[in-house]
Amino acid sequence: MRSIKATALQRYKDTFKDDGAVLPAMERHVMRQLSEKGSDLTSDHMHPSEMAKPDWCGRHDYYRIIGTPTEKHGQANPSFKMSNVWAEGHTIHEKYQRWLHEMGCLYGEFRCRDCEKHFTGLSPTHCIYCKSERLIYREIHLHRQGMLVEGHTDGAVHDLDGWSGLIEIKSIGIQTLRFEAPRLYNLYQDENMSLEDIWWRINRPFGSHLKQGQWYLWLAWPRYEHICFIYESKFHQATKEFVVSYNPQLIAPQLEIARAVTEAVRDQTPPDRPIWAEEPESRICKSCEFRNTCWGIGEVNGEPEEAKVSIKIQRAKPGVRKRGLSAAGVRPA
């Protein structure tokens, strides 16, 4: 083995600065942008991206919509790695939107980089206000009259070889599999199946994606009857496409909850809790910023007083009871 002289080793170490030359400054820039931007979701509506999740709580949204003060604040501490993941997802979205724009079939809201004005159109070539060609696609805002539900889909395609519909672009990575397809994730994690083999096993949209798409179609009905999911693999940039027709039965239970929340906001009466919310210590409830308000937990000396939870008492078997009573010196009745 060749040895490295001390002077050569020092020159080698000096080549790399501990504090970095580019990445640290870039990390600070990204994290600062993230904190300034905040969330795109408005606080006075329910949103399909949340409603499509299995642990969505309409009662939580009710408290948020009516402006209930939060009892705790989540520690937003995203890492540069996660910010990089999100940025990659946005880049993938922008790529497909740019291509559809160039093809002349992308409909929706555009923003001019020069005059900052917004307008709606079908693949415009320039700003209708200042004639600038520097345009950014801003997706489609969807809202349904009389319901406190709104969303933003990734776009709409008009008359592409005779097909029209909404589009939803999803970048698929390891974390997507972990949360949306645990069975496929376990094949990778526990059975060492290759990511490429797992990719070819994806033959339909993931459950939450499917529901999210149905919410968008429900909001856009009757203008659009179909939504096209474009999946791109982060592993090797392979792509898949799934076209789904409007079927409100797929979101019927959540739709009833959304109607109940809308009515509850009008009446200022909390809707029912989800069936999985059995007690304040339930996994989701425990981390909710409206937990104390929802469960009627007061405060004693500034500290939350736990709600009184009914305790289920199971009667012991006769033999066990007899032995217990005998040991205590009590003669069984």
pLDDT of 27 reads 72
Q: What is the pLDDT of residue 316?
A: 45
Query: What amino acid is encoded at 284 in this protein?
Result: I
Q: Residue 3: its pLDDT value, please?
A: 46
How far is residue 13's CA from residue 7's CA, in Å, rounded to a whole number? 10
pLDDT tens-place string over residues 2-57: 444 455 555 555 555 556 778 777 777 766 665 555 556 788 999 999 999 999 99
**CB contact at 8 A, 246 and 213:** no
Alpha-carbon span 267 to 62, nearest angstrom: 11
Pair 280, 286: CB distance under 8 Å = yes
Non-local (6+) Cβ contacts of 153 within 8 A are 139, 140, 142, 166, 167, 168, 216, 220, 227
Radius of gyration over alpha carbons of the chain, in Å? 27
Return the H-helix or E-strand segment holding 265: helix 252-267
Please state, in angstroms and rounded to a whole number, the distance separating the CA atoms of residues 80 and 25. Answer: 11
Q: Which class in CATH covers the domain with range 52-72+86-293?
A: alpha beta
Written as tens digits, the pLDDT of the chain (333 aa) is: 444 445 555 555 555 555 677 877 777 776 666 555 555 678 899 999 999 999 999 999 999 999 999 987 654 555 666 666 667 778 899 999 999 999 999 999 999 999 999 999 999 999 999 999 999 999 899 999 999 999 999 999 999 999 999 999 999 999 899 999 999 999 998 888 999 999 999 999 999 999 999 999 999 999 999 999 999 999 889 999 999 999 999 999 999 999 999 999 999 999 999 999 989 998 889 999 999 999 998 754 445 555 444 333 344 445 544 554 454 444 444
Interacting residues of 124 by C-beta distance below 8 A, sequence separation 6+: 110, 135
Q: Under a CB-based contact definition with an 8 Å cutoff, are residues 154 and 168 in contact?
A: yes
- The number of beta carbons lying within 10 Å of the beta carbon of residue 321 is 12
**pLDDT at res. 40:** 61
Q: Is the dihedral of CA 121, 124, 128, 129 positive or negative?
A: positive
What is the C-alpha to C-alpha distance for residues 288 and 303, in angstroms, rounded to an integer?
16
Strand-pairing partners, residue 299, are 304
252-267 and 58-65 are packed helices; what angle lies between their axes, rounded to 10 degrees?
30
Q: Determine the Cα angle at 250 with ends 245 and 255, to 5°.
A: 115
Q: What is the pLDDT of residue 73?
A: 60
Counted residue by residue, the chain has a size of 333
Residue 302 neighbours by CB distance under 10 Å: 5
**How remote is the C-alpha of 275 from its chain's centroid?**
21
| 80, 168 contact by CB (below 8 A) | no
Contacts of residue 297, defined as CB under 8 A and 6 or more positions apart, other chains included, come to 280, 291, 304, 305, 306, 307
- Give the pair of three-digit tokens for residue 175: 């974390």
